[in-house]
Structure 1
Amino acid sequence: MKYVIGIDLGTSAVKILLINQAGEVCLEVSKAYPLIQPQFGYSEQDPNEWVAKTEEGLRELVQAFSGNPEDIEGISFSGQMHGLVLLDKNNQVLRNAILWNDTRTTEQCQQIYEAIGKERLLKVAKNPALEGFTLPKILWVKQNEPEIFAEAHVFMMPKDYLRYRMTGQIHTEYSDAAGTLLLNIEEKEWSKELCEKLGLPFDMCPSLVDSDYFVGTITSDFAKTTGLAESVKVFAGGADNACGAIGAGILTEGNTLCSIGTSGVVLSHEERNDQDYQGKVHYFNHGKSNAFYSMGVTLAAGYSLSWFKETFAEAEDFEQLLNGIENVSIGANGLLFTPYLVGERTPHADSKIRGSFIGMDASHKRLDFVRAVLEGITFSLHESIEIFRENGKVIENIISIGGGAKNEVWLQMQADIFNATIIKLSSEQGPAMGAAMLAAYGCNWYTTLEDCANDYIKPSKTYYPIAENVEKYQNLFILYKKVYEQTRALNEELHTFRNITN
């Protein structure tokens, strides 16, 4: 039996899966590492921590593996998007990585618009200038740490730095490059135009490859450290959302994913390279060659439910918290919730908007609030689906993963609010599974990623929209959409009263 490894380099931990040729998870290891937050809005990590924890996890996995390490044939990666790693001419790290959730770059985003123009940026990069992307981070370092920028030779994404330390080879691939704002999405090449207009050296951009590209084998030092065979093949991998899509089988037109974790994502496969959503949703290159995906984001999806539990039911688990919500009627007895606890991304790129409970009265019980939170999260995700449909996409079947797929009432709610068939998978391993599938495909176990998905990904239950519920939710959704516009000015004024030092 042969095996592959999928490595998911996340924001809080690295997750490592050992998968056999039948698509079964044989071993799983996770190793956490800290965030570095020196001041409000800053979010960084030490890239060397990623390497150390991955080495530790791989060593633990190999030691627990009962087979021959030579039978582990391939490795590939998934990684947190948008993070900036800067290396000098000797490929040494110049500073901590600046992560996707760092918000220090509002000024640089405005500078990008002034230099490029909003319409031109959307034409080239297919995405608006947001603090999370890599390009504003590069400009921030250039302007605030000029001595470091002067030494910068190449920039990299987080998973690409990890792969470099394993192989000695420097590349990035299209799905992660698409999240920098420097890639011409349609042409699949770095934009010289953007680099020139922003005063960035074009040769800072790493070479581009496909996600299934064979990078090489691991170094002898890395093999000794981990116990892996030097012959193991290493493939480029993909951005976490692209790998999450692969791991859920979102590989053909019409396939859509709803993933509810801390944030929430609605992601749909795209065959065209010229689809134009006017920047209302993200548009990135897929981990599948010559494919793309569109994506809407709810910043505080599962986080809204976690916040409610920690604030009002700290001693209970989520199962206890949600127990009985099926007995609460649609609309939570006249209570609406907007999940803007940390601002919002889609369709409102608004860092100052905050959440609301609308319609509270003395008759409401805790379960009404819980139901309202679930409905509000799902309404926010539905705004992305509405944008897709308004632009001609047919969305009939949606695979639901993450926390939103763990409760049957919530799954039926998704079917009713999205007015689509919801499919729950028998087993989900997220981006790490997508990374493992890229390795399996790269090792020629399958002729296509679709064939691999057909073997590895199995549905367990299907939820169909109930016409009566769909109609009720359509009416409630109209009210939900009004809340943003009617609370935006209030939140602008309240912003000065917030304690933003914590």
Structure 2
Amino acid sequence: MKYVMGVDLGTSAVKVLLLNQEGEVIREAAKSYPSIQKKSGYSEQNPEEWVEKTILAIKEITAGLDPEGIEGISFSGQMHGLVLLDCNHQVLRDAILWNDTRTTKQCRDIYELVGEKRLLDIAKNPALEGFTLPKLLWVKEHEPEIYESAAVFLLPKDYLRYCLTGEIHTEFSDAAGTLLLNISEKEWSREICEAVGVDIRLCPPLIESSDFTGCLMPDIAHQTGLSDQVKVFAGGADNACGAIGSGILEEGKTLCSIGTSGVVLSYEESNQRDFAGRVHYFNHGKENAYYTMGVTLAAGHSLSWFKDIFAADEHFDDLLKGLAAVPIGANGLLFTPYISGERTPHADAVIRGSFIGMDTSHKKIDFVRAVIEGITFSLNESVEIIRESGKKIDSIISIGGGAKNEEWLQIQADIFNAKIVKLTSEQGPGVGAAMLAAYGCGWYSSLSKCSQVFTQVAETYEPIKENVEKYKELYSLYKLIYQKTKGLNASLNRFRH
């Protein structure tokens, strides 16, 4: 039997999947690593932790297997992170992650230097704190010695792949999240680089997600238990791989993925659509394709935060027990998931979350329901924007943490007013990475052919008309909270440490 491996380098852990030619997940392993938060709004990780934990996870999976049977490996990775390497390709500082919000000034600088409209014309996305270019400019301003020592920057999964193969590349789906890529032309933008004073030579070589990037270095093969002849492929950004792994490979397909962050993603064939920066517009992992995407910064993270603070000793399954018995609206309780700021539709690093309507009758499960409804309301704002562009969304594939609970799947159907499709495997990014390896190895003639084997529907959830109407009323109240609390949060910001 032949196998491929998908490595999903997430924010809190690396997950490695081993799939056979029928698209079945045969083995999986996960290893967690910490984040470093030196100040409020800062979020960093040690890139060496990614490498160490990935090697351990692969070693766990390959134990007892014939290494010659594993033909290919590819990667999915957290977007926007900044890894700086010197001329000897040594790491110069800890990686600055996608959810780091220290770069508000640098975002303003980008608009002044490039022009807001021109930036949208080229990079198709607004200047937001999470993107890579603002981080690069922050290092240039605050750590000039490190910046001057930099020879190249990499995205997180590209650094991991470099450590396994010794080859430096990035690919279009991840490069699209830097603000340095000309999305339509599929090349680094010399115009943006010159405007902001970044040497274009810091940008790594560009390739396609399914391109072969080399084989494992012998010492890595020895440590992992893999053959040094295993083929390594470029991979893609986590959301691009999530789209591939969920079959979002043709017009009309839409995805909702709830992980640490949450995304609503819709396939696009054209590179010329204009959303005026209201949603993100990125290159797909499929060649010459694109996708629009709205982001909730703290989706699953809002629920895990609540659990860690108020139910640390409970398993998630126990935390969600009784969820279905709580009425729509959580007995008059609303939650906004702005605990890390927000991305879509409010590009606001200062806004913070709220519980609205608390009283002494509320129980813990009411708060849990309010958190889940609030996350889904936030994602619905992205669905609404994409629909307003003229797209019909009547069916959405749901993956990630939000696809693991039946009641949450029904809540998605009712709030989105669309059929929700649950797949047999909700691990979209890891499966998508494995599919890129399978396609790269020549198992299938296209990613679409591969998807017909690797993605299967498990269940569907239809919207319930009565629930849809109740949620429409609640949603209109939810949307008021941002404007009502924006000024308060801006005033509170100086008290945060």
Secondary structure of residue in 1 paired with 2:378: helix
Q: Could you say which residue in structure 2 is the equivalent of 1:280?
A: 278
| RMSD of aligned alpha carbons | 1.8
Task: Quote the offset at 1:405 in angstroms.
Answer: 1.5
User: How is 1:23-422 mapped onto 2 (pairs within 5 angstroms)?
Assistant: 23-65=23-65, 68-422=66-420
**Greater CA deviation, 181-190 or 352-361?**
352-361
1:156 partner letter = L
Q: Given the superposition, is the C-alpha separation of residues 331 and 192 from structure 1 closer, same or farther in structure 2, using an over 3 Å criterion? A: same
Task: Give unmatched runs, 5+ long, in structure 2.
Answer: none
SS across alignment from 1:300: coil
Deviation of 1:152 after TM superposition, in Å, equals: 1.7
Whether the 8 Å CA contact 2:243–2:249 is kept in 1: the answer is yes
AA matched with 1:359: G
Residue 421 of structure 2 aligns to a residue whose secondary structure is strand
The residue identity in structure 2 corresponding to 1:168 is G
Q: Which amino acid aligns with 2:57?
A: G
Contact 2:4 2:18 in 1 (8 A): yes
Q: 1:129 to 1:450 in 2, by over 3 A?
A: same
Q: Distance in 2 between matches of 1:35 and 1:463?
A: 36
Go from structure 1 to structure 2 and tell me whether the alpha carbon gap of 1:308 and 1:205 turns closer, same or farther (over 3 Å shift). closer
SS at 1:319 equivalent: helix
Aligned amino acid, residue 370 of structure 1:
V
- CA distance change for structure 1 residues 338 and 12 in 2, over 3 Å: closer, same or farther? closer
Q: Aligned-pair distance for 1:20?
A: 1.0
| Matched residue type, 2:8 | D
Query: Cα–Cα, structure 1 residues 494 and 144, in superposed 2: closer, same or farther, change >3 Å?
Result: closer
- Greater Cα offset, 81-90 or 241-250: 81-90
**Residue identity in the other structure for 2:121:** K
Alpha carbons of 1:225 and 1:191: their partners in 2 closer, same or farther (altered >3 Å)?
Answer: same
Instruction: State which drifts further: 97-106 or 177-186.
Output: 97-106
Check conservation: 2:170, 2:206, Cα contact below 8 A. yes
Structure 2 CA distance, aligned partners of 1:350 and 1:224? 46
Q: Distance in 2 between matches of 1:206 and 1:487?
A: 42
Matches within 5 A, 1:455-466: 455-466=453-464
Cα distance change of structure 1 residues 220 and 368 upon mapping to structure 2, 3 Å threshold: closer
Cα displacement string for residues 294-352 of structure 1 (whole angstroms, at most 9, x for unaligned residues): 11111222222233334444443333333333233322333322222222111111122
The 3-state SS of whatever aligns with 1:41 is coil
Contact (CA 8 Å) 2:124, 2:183: kept in 1 or not? Answer: yes
Deviations 1:174-216 (A, max 9, x none): 0010011000111111000000111111122111110000112
- Against the structure 1 CA distance between its residues 90 and 372, is the aligned structure 2 distance closer, same or farther, given a 3 Å change threshold? closer
Residue matched to 2:4: 4
For 1:433 and 1:273, the matched residues in 2 are separated by 26
The whole-number CA distance in structure 2 between the counterparts of 1:334 and 1:222 is 55
Are the counterparts in 1 of residues 132 and 179 from structure 2 also a CA contact under 8 Å? yes
Instruction: Tell me how far apart the structure 2 counterparts of residues 357 and 41 of structure 1 sit (CA, whole Å).
Output: 21
Distance 1:368 1:86 in 2: 45
Tell me, yes or no, if structure 1 residue 494 matches structure 2 residue 496: no
Instruction: Tell me how far apart the structure 2 counterparts of residues 438 and 346 of structure 1 sit (CA, whole Å).
Output: 29
Give the superposition deviation at 1:482: 1.3
| Cα distance in 1, alignment partners of residues 27 and 180 from structure 2 | 37
Aligned to 2:469: 471
Deviation above 6 Å: which 4+ runs of structure 1? none
- Counterparts of 2:398 and 2:326 in 1: how far apart (Å)? 23
* CA distance 1:471–1:141, shift in 2 (3 Å): same
Mapped to 2, the partners of 1:374 and 1:30 lie a distance apart of: 25
Q: Residue 37 of structure 1: CA displacement? A: 3.1
Q: Distance in 2 between matches of 1:214 and 1:86?
A: 23
SS state of the match for residue 64, structure 1?
Answer: coil
Larger deviation, residues 20-29 vs 384-393: 20-29
Distance 1:371 1:413 in 2: 10
Report the number of matched residues: 497
> CA 1:45–1:320 in structure 2 vs 1: closer, same or farther (change >3 Å)?
closer
Q: Structure 1 133/325 Cα, relative in aligned 2: closer, same or farther at 3 Å? A: same
> CA deviation digits over 1:401-424, x for unaligned, max 9?
222122222211111110100011
> Helix, strand or coil: the match of 2:285?
coil
Per-residue Cα deviation, 1:83-118 (whole angstroms, up to 9, x for no partner): 112222222222222222222222211111110111
User: 2:329 and 2:56 mapped to 1: Cα distance?
Assistant: 49
What does the per-residue CA deviation read over 1:338-376, in whole Å, with 9 as the maximum and x for residues that have no partner? 222222111111122222233334444444333322222
The one-letter amino acid of 2:472's match is Q
- 3-state DSSP of counterpart to 2:63: helix
Structure 1: runs of 5+ lacking an equivalent = none
1:434-455: per-residue Cα shift (whole Å, max 9, x none)?
1111000001111111111111
The amino acid of 2:254's aligned partner reads T
Letter in 1 for 2:207: V
Change (3 A) 1:303 1:149: closer
Counterpart CA distance in 1 for 2:72 and 2:228 is 11
Q: Distance in 2 between matches of 1:224 and 1:192?
A: 41
Aligned partners of 2:160, 2:313: CA distance in 1, in Å?
39
